[in-house]
Structure 1
């Protein structure tokens, strides 16, 4: 079947929404409670922005010494919102995601009110619901990897996520993937006070000087200073063989509610496959 003829009307889902004056703390609670990675900001039934887990992690660093409770959803309103209507094509949606490096397109009605959203997950699911050409993982995977070791400091891993604009860092030992860290790992439901009190500001300053971390890292998240990657990583990551089928990869992503898979060959890490890589294929 030619997916290019498909309309996104088949894929539209209802998003979780917040108002412009919803606080960042409340938004974080909503993300965790509903087990979603993003919420849409609406005002008078019209979408005006999106907040993702990555946005929250980045904003916490930008705050410096400002209280996190002072930040509201309206602080995340972008200069441009990417929207389509339900009669747009799957390929058009995939091209928009690829061009602007986004994981969500907002679907609006003729009067610009919110109708729903289409995410990378929705597009990737096409490989399960439609009869498409068989594709090997090796064709779509990325081979340029950003990785860390289990003993690397958590702040260093966070710095990699922000510096390279990626959503996950694979933790490897002896060329084998042993864990994975995503932005969700930096958005805990509640920051334990004993952790917040454990970081000595002078130690953080010394750590930053030695490791070359950005100035913004010595603030709201400095409680992470004592911890290493092994303390927060998801262990025993789900992997896919490089010669496996994309359909199997999508099945694993859906089953385990993840957006990326370390790719292995003979148990050794050789790449990574993400939903973004799959969307790029649909955009061609």
Structure 2
């Protein structure tokens, strides 16, 4: 099974010039904990609710997305298989992977997406185990 078969394809994003308030508001209205930062269709960063809470406070909530986003983003191609996705998640200790096609954002794959697939239950379990194991070290 491929990533495109289980990814969320209705992904909202923000730009690196969006205000932190706008990003937080979008996350709240979408009920998500992370949002990709996209410029010209390509993922240039990722902002999590934790980034807003920890780094955003340093800017008194008045900064821009570019000031709190993570820059070294791991992405996966929509045609990759689920085993590759779970391995990437485990290796990089991440719970969400932006999905790209020809370099452009087309979806988002979460650890939860992997967990609900019968064929990937074991892969998701392994990924979560490795992510959680490394969190406590």
Same fold flag (TM > 0.5)? yes
Whichever of the two has the greater Rg, that structure is 1
Deviations 1:22-67 (A, max 9, x none): xxxxxxxxxxxxxxxxxxxxxxxxxxxxxxxxxxxxxxxxxxxxxx
Q: 1:224 aligns with which of 52, 57, 61?
A: 61
Is 2:103 aligned against 1:267? yes
Is 2:12 aligned against 1:146? yes
**Aligned-pair CA distance for 1:187:** 3.1
2:133 aligned residue: none
Unaligned runs of 5+ in 2: 122-137
CA distance in 2, matches of 1:261, 1:251: 11
Is 2:51 aligned against 1:236? no
**Aligned-pair CA distance for 1:167:** 1.6
Q: TM-score, normalised by structure 1?
A: 0.40
Helix, strand or coil for the counterpart of 2:116? helix
Alignment RMSD (CA, Å): 1.9
**Aligned-pair CA distance for 1:272:** 0.8
Paired residues for 1:45-56 under 5 Å: none
8 Å contact from structure 2 (residues 97, 109) kept in 1: yes
8 Å contact from structure 2 (residues 47, 69) kept in 1: yes
Q: 2:38 aligns with which of 164, 168, 172?
A: 172
Paired residues for 1:28-39 under 5 Å: none
8 Å contact from structure 2 (residues 20, 52) kept in 1: no
1:158 aligned residue: 24
CA distance in 1, matches of 2:53, 2:89: 21
Helix, strand or coil for the counterpart of 1:224? coil
Count of aligned residue pairs for this structure pair: 119
Deviations 1:180-213 (A, max 9, x none): 0011212328x55xx5xxxxxxxxxxxxxxxxxx
Deviations 1:66-86 (A, max 9, x none): xxxxxxxxxxxxxxxxxxxxx
Q: TM-score, normalised by structure 2?
A: 0.80
CA distance in 1, matches of 2:118, 2:47: 27
1:278 aligned residue: 114
Unaligned runs of 5+ in 1: 1-134, 196-222
